[in-house]
């Protein structure tokens, strides 16, 4: 294994911690030029990025699964800030990609490239409740060696609360993207809503993308984007991705709501609730937990 990618420390870009090797390509991220026909999928990690990416990809291909199977989802929807030894830098890929492009990012609002503010284009933001994200992120840290060692669950939870994890604080991320949703063309979705009624949420996406599809195609897309279908699809489940050990924890782990109840102790939960109350006191953004 390339040791440069084995548990490197996080680095700061502006105020946001990022996966160490990603920082080396930061200049190209800052200079990245968005276009009016781009569609940006933005999330805090572990909030349903891959799921919504697949839905969008299939909508653009009118449910043509063959087309969608031609490359893995992380190639079809490049991850803007991803870069490092052994992984092609996304900015390079994006500059050669056919239009319209679908782009993924985990960047916090404070560190977005200038072009984000200069251009008008569509953005889908997906948010997931803080506790399930913490659990999902912990298991992701364990299996993806590009992150620092997460330590124990308790240690990881503390780092997460301090914002000392890749892409910074969950609360800053969701609140600031919520704040700019009227200033920019943003569809703000919730993972819990997608689980509750995937059809309803997909209709929102279709309307936002100004696309129409038949009921038959809709049904097909719903089937192909179910948790089980994506977990079993090598183009969606990251099994072809380097630097991840799915035997530690699969990328497509559980795909449920409320798994935090199996991880948080009573005292961790009390501490987290108090922290959460303070963090979310200055926003009207609410979550189901
Ligand atoms: P869990 O670890 O809780 O299972 P991201 O793509 O942003 O990294 O998010 C990954 C999380 O979304 C994982 O959560 C994963 O299982 C879940 N996920 C991925 N595809 C899904 C789907 N089709 N339906 C429900 N959850 C999905
Ligand atoms: C982090 C978040 C995410 O949503 C997707 C990915 C894919 C690229 C991954 C990175 C990540 C985690 C760390 C790595 C990186 C590629 C190499 C690095 O080791 C696995």
Tens-digit pLDDT profile for residues 98-153? 999 999 999 999 999 999 999 999 999 999 999 999 999 999 999 999 999 999 99
**pTM (predicted TM-score):** 0.98
Give the closest ligand to the alpha carbon of residue 138: 1
Q: How confident is the model at residue 193 (pLDDT cuts 50, 70, 90)?
A: very high
Tens-digit pLDDT profile for residues 39-98? 999 999 999 999 999 999 999 999 999 999 999 999 999 999 999 988 879 999 999 999
CATH architecture of 3-279: 3-Layer(aba) Sandwich (3.40)
Q: By the 8 A CB rule, do 238 and 251 touch?
A: yes
Tokens standing for residue 1: 């294994």
Tens-digit pLDDT profile for residues 206-215? 999 999 999 9
Res 4 pLDDT > 80: no
User: In the chain, what are the domain boundaries?
Assistant: 3-279
45 CA: nearest ligand 1 atom: 7
The pLDDT of residue 3 is 61
Cβ(238) – ligand 2 distance below 6 Å: no
Q: By the 8 A CB rule, do 128 and 192 touch?
A: yes
Specify the residue with its C-alpha closest to ligand 1, atom 2.
136
Active site residue 224: no
Tens-digit pLDDT profile for residues 214-239? 999 999 999 999 999 999 999 999 99
Calpha distance 44→177 (Å, rounded): 10
Calpha distance 186→125 (Å, rounded): 7
86 CA: nearest ligand 2 atom: 17
Stretch 251-273: mean pLDDT, rounded? 98
Ligand 1 mean position to 154 CA, how many Å?
22
Calpha distance 47→281 (Å, rounded): 22
Tens-digit pLDDT profile for residues 119-129? 999 999 999 99
How many C-beta atoms lie closer than 10 Å to residue 182's C-beta? 8
The pLDDT of residue 88 is 79
Q: By the 8 A CB rule, do 175 and 280 touch?
A: yes
């Amino acid at each position: 294994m390339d040791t440069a990618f084995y548990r490197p420390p996080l680095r700061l870009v502006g105020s946001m911690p990022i996966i160490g090797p990603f920082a080396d390509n930061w200049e190209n991220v800052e200079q990245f030029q968005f276009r009016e026909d781009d569609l940006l999928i933005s999330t805090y990690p572990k909030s349903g990025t891959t799921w919504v990416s697949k839905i969008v990809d299939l909508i653009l291909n009118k449910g043509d699964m063959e087309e969608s199977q031609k490359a893995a989802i992380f190639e079809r929807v490049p991850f803007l800030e991803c870069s490092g030894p052994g992984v092609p830098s996304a900015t390079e890929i994006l500059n050669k990609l056919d239009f319209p492009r679908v782009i993924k990012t985990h960047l916090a609002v404070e560190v977005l490239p200038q072009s984000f503010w200069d251009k008008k284009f569509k953005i889908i933001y997906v948010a997931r409740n803080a506790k399930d994200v913490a659990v999902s992120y912990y298991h992701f840290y364990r299996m993806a060696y590009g992150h620092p060692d997460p330590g124990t669950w308790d240690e990881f939870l503390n780092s997460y609360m301090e914002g000392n994890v890749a892409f910074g604080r969950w609360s800053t991320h969701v609140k600031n993207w919520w704040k700019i949703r009227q200033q920019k063309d943003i569809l703000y979705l919730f993972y819990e809503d997608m689980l509750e009624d995937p059809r309803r949420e997909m209709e929102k996406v279709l309307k936002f993308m100004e696309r129409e599809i038949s009921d038959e195609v809709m049904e097909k897309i719903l089937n192909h984007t179910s948790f089980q279908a994506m977990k079993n699809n090598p183009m969606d489940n990251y099994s072809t991705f380097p630097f991840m050990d799915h035997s530690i924890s699969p990328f497509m782990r559980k795909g449920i709501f409320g798994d935090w109840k199996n991880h948080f102790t009573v005292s961790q939960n009390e501490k987290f609730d108090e922290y959460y109350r303070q963090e979310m006191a200055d926003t009207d953004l609410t979550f189901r937990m």
